[in-house]
Structure 1
Amino acid sequence: MKSASPTSPAAASTSPEVRRQRSDGAEARSHLLLTALRLFAERGFTKTSTREIALAAGVNIAAISYYFGDKAGLYRAVFTEPMGSAKDDIGLYDQPGFTLRQSLQGFVASFLNPMKQGEFIQQCTRLHFREMLEPTGVWAEELDQGIKPAHAALVAVLGRHLGVTRPDDDLHRLAFSITGLALQMYVTRDVIEGVRPQLLATPKAIDLWAARLVDFSEAMVAVELARRQSLTSAKKSKT
């Protein structure tokens, strides 16, 4: 992973706070952000200039400085604001009183609800994958500050329901496998739409798939529980 340069989006976190917007400037800021999202997703951070973004958005280039500080600040906003951070959704599934199904429902819903935004969220997905291939430092921050805490929370949830107090490799494998069920819908969206487009055609269709993923995830947990119980029984029979 490349280290962030002083002008990279990762370094923008130390830049001055963006000026307070007037209420009538929110729409202009949103339009600028969406335009930048499209261009950054298509070309990446390095190959996209602020002049091109301003021209495509139909605004003066000074608007980027006004709303976001600089190009790095704009990129950071584009990367983080539309989808948020994985850690923001932890409360939707990591609750001590939740049943396993309630936790899985919250986790899957937090993952798949953004898909209902169609082309917009596809651009966000493309940007995230481009960032992994052409890192600026923003992805590394999200991994450390967002994805790792969210993964740890899911591991804790699964551990509670499996009676595992010290997470082991198999518990992490289970958590990654459940996450992978939802993640593959983003990664293979073009394939799904080419083979069976009705599966993602409407918000209702996405909700139905989410319900199925909860079923599949419960089955995976059940298999892991049975495996662990079998190992425990085998050990007891030897003593």
Structure 2
Amino acid sequence: MTALPTTVSTSRRARPDGIETRGHLLIAALRLFAEKGYTKTSTREIARVAGANIGAISYYFGDKAGLYRAVFTEPLGSPKDDIALYDQPDFTLRQSLQGLFSSMLAPLLQGDLMQQCVRLHFREMVEPTGIWAEEIDNGIVPAHSALVRVLCRHLGVTRADDDLHRLAFSVVGLALHIFVARDVIEAIRPKLLATPAAIEQWTAAMVDFADAMVAREADRRRTTVSLKKKKP
């Protein structure tokens, strides 16, 4: 594993006249890191593709590691940033599911940028630098815990068990499958992802699917309790 330095300089605030340069660096770095990986991508090549001075990388991101972290985290954001969109005590289940899937599918509206982000995540899993493990701990685990809280509230469960965690993973899996299998979906049924309206329609469908999954789990739990009561 090629570990990123743990003392990476934070990026400086972009000057108004440098926002475009910073953006070009991010896009160029995203494509190159996704294609070649962290180790085989040089800052000189990134600057050349971005049409920027190599010193701009140091100015905006600190160093190569800082640029990689920005590329990995900024375009899609962190899952924990969206927790408030679905983990609200006064939300109905469907409101929570709508907030969850709307936030998860929003990156699809970014087109090729999203595809490059997915490829970068795959590359990180094959050639880990440690940033994916950080994202799991700092972003995915809190988001999963929030969804589990939502499910507990609506199922009347005080303590999450293995079945509830399975349900949470299965609910999220509805959306994650699109990112993993987008090439397959576009080969079989491209219109399903062709427009913002199509993505909104898929979001609505996922709310229905997940709602049914939760209802089935509620039925299963009631049946289990009922059978236990009937036993002598």
Q: Give TM class, smaller chain.
A: over 0.9
**SS where residue 81 of structure 2 aligns?**
helix
What is the deviation of 1:133? 1.3
Select the residue among 139, 160, 175 that pairs with 1:182.
175
2:122 alignment partner in structure 1: 129
2:155 alignment partner in structure 1: 162
In the alignment, structure 2 segments of 5+ residues that lack a partner are none
Amino acid at match of 2:34: A
**Cα RMSD after superposing both structures:** 1.1
1:40 alignment partner in structure 2: 33
| Correspondences of 1:67-106 after superposition (within 5 Å) | 67-106=60-99
1:66 aligns with 2:59: yes
Where do 4+ consecutive residues of structure 1 move more than 2 Å? 14-21
Whether the aligned pair in 1 keeps the contact of 2:78 and 2:139 (CA below 8 Å) is yes
Residues 35-70 of structure 1 show CA distances to partners (whole Å, capped at 9, x for unaligned) of: 111111111101111111111111111111111111
Range moving further from structure 2, 87-96 or 53-62: 53-62
How many pairs does the alignment contain?
Answer: 232
CA gap of 1:158–1:3, structure 2 versus 1, over 3 A, is: farther
Residues 194-214 of structure 1 show CA distances to partners (whole Å, capped at 9, x for unaligned) of: 000000000100110110011
Distance 1:16 1:51 in 2: 19
What is the deviation of 1:20? 3.0
Whether the aligned pair in 1 keeps the contact of 2:10 and 2:66 (CA below 8 Å) is no
Amino acid at match of 1:189: R
Whether the aligned pair in 1 keeps the contact of 2:2 and 2:39 (CA below 8 Å) is no
| Correspondences of 1:197-212 after superposition (within 5 Å) | 197-212=190-205
Whether the aligned pair in 1 keeps the contact of 2:28 and 2:46 (CA below 8 Å) is yes
Amino acid at match of 1:74: L
1:234 aligns with 2:223: no
What is the deviation of 1:129? 1.3
What is the deviation of 1:3? 7.3
Range moving further from structure 2, 169-178 or 27-36: 27-36
Distance 1:93 1:101 in 2: 9
In the alignment, structure 1 segments of 5+ residues that lack a partner are none
Select the residue among 211, 214, 221 that pairs with 1:221.
214
2:24 alignment partner in structure 1: 31
1:110 aligns with 2:97: no
What is the deviation of 1:21? 2.4
Amino acid at match of 1:106: G
**SS where residue 170 of structure 1 aligns?**
helix
